[in-house]
Structure 1
Amino acid sequence: MVSDGPVRTAEGLSFDGADLAELERADTVIVPACADLQGDPPPELLGALRKAYARGARIASICTGAFTLAAAGLLDGRRATTHWMYAAELTQRWPAVKLDPNVLYTEDERIFTSAGECAGLDLCLHLVRLDHGSRVANTLARRMVIPPHREGGQAQYIDQPVPAGESTSLAPVLDWARTQLHRPLTIDELALRAAMSKRSFLRHFRASTGTTPLQWLVHERVARARDLLETTNDTVDRVAERCGFGSAQSLRVHFTRINQTTPYRYRQAFDPAR
């Protein structure tokens, strides 16, 4: 902190303060979200953060705390994230930051940033995992009643229901397709199932899901793969077969692209013993 006295949070909690000299021996410095995004952080704080990083400390920010790191120049040329509501503002003010608004947290040369405040929990679990291993991090996550590992963006964990309207006529077809992911599915077959011409089906499909049948199928197959990796002891080859990917390599490519982690690492995060 910069001024003397206890630190009070927006929720009314109070913490004993310490001066910036504490950063001179800290191994990890965590910068919380800041309420005043328009004001400039105190120069002495920015200088202390730069010195801590130069000394070898790792620096992490929660939510809009990334604005403080950016003001210190610690995010220049580095991949970072922040809450999606403020991503455009951060990019406008510090264009040298390689902002990725689609992830929960980032790590780039001892600089860590998280998206929203809940994503800060994911980041902190990641730090625990780096220091103490997956088993300790998973135990902590269970105590907190939160997922032990959420790599990638939040979109992969959000169900995408079919919007209300005429396109809900595709809902039975989509539900049926989910039961057939283990085998090849063609657009012609899906269109026939929907009792539509191929052209009409493609138009209704995009209006309903916002994507193409091929892209939708890939995401559904990856979602099925995640479930199998979490709940079964099937090999990656068997998981690929059950999800209709044809080969383990094909599964790895699509799984890594969507989840930003490999099937093996995803499974290890949920059960390191396997």
Structure 2
Amino acid sequence: MKKRSILAVTLTALWAVNTNAADITVENFAGKQVVPENPQRVAVLDFAALDTMRQLGVKDRVVGTIKGKVPAYLSEFKDEKYANMGTAPEPAFENINDVKPDLIIASTRQKKALARLKEIAPVFYIENDYTNYYPSLQQNILAIGKIFNKEAQAKEKLAALDKRISALASLAKGKTALMTLVNESRISAFGQNSRYAMVYQNFGFTPIDTNLTGSTHGNSIGFEYIAEKNPDYLLVVDRTAAITDKANNAQTVLNNEIVNKTNAAKNHHIVYLNAENWYLTFGGLESMDKMVTELESAVK
């Protein structure tokens, strides 16, 4: 009887361990993915996911994250207790392997490295539908919630965000906008089927040009194009400022005679958006809230 009791206890303990380590299926725009439930050691290669994990109260699971230019509001993750996983475009595979993660969270910037990452540990891959961006963003956040048994919290925070977005859409209704990204001296425009689609689809602005393609990197434009379209609001993401220490690059590029004659310039409606929110952590729970606040301030 004693031997049976020990065996029963042992089997029960093994079953409990296996239950805790069970795989679950989550789904996003990238498709159905099988990942470990409630992982305890996570290597995070995406700032938006890091943002969302912190908002859901599971930052203690992070054992390593990408470094490079870390957004100011996530500066706590610069601490040496979080191992250096490389940068977004160049993961440090040996370092990732060394932290022995239960899960790696990756995004499109690591797409070419996915096969190699999967050799180290299971991967949750974040991808978005640029023709219908906000619903795919919601999918990613809910998937992270499900992975960490925080689905109820994720739903609650998304519901609060939805209310804020609806209020912004009411403020922006009837106002035309052109969403742009400045990279050094080059300017790209984004339409209603692009990475910044939610500016038009959810935030309430009317696209000044409905013929822009859905390119991930935007449509190349010049100063004359901006003047010709003459939107009420010129919304600007400074990619150079996001990834380098070169501040105010976009302001320098756009401060010229052609752009300064537009209605947006005359009415002080050229909005230089926080590049960290709109480029580095685009898609995180807190960054989304910050983005809504920026645009609310611009249109009030």
TM-score category (smaller protein): under 0.3
Question: Which TM-score applies when normalising by structure 2?
Answer: 0.25
Structure with the bigger percentage of strand: 2
Higher RCO structure, 1 or 2 (CA under 8 Å, sep 6+): 2
Structure with the bigger percentage of helix: 1
Question: Which TM-score applies when normalising by structure 1?
Answer: 0.27
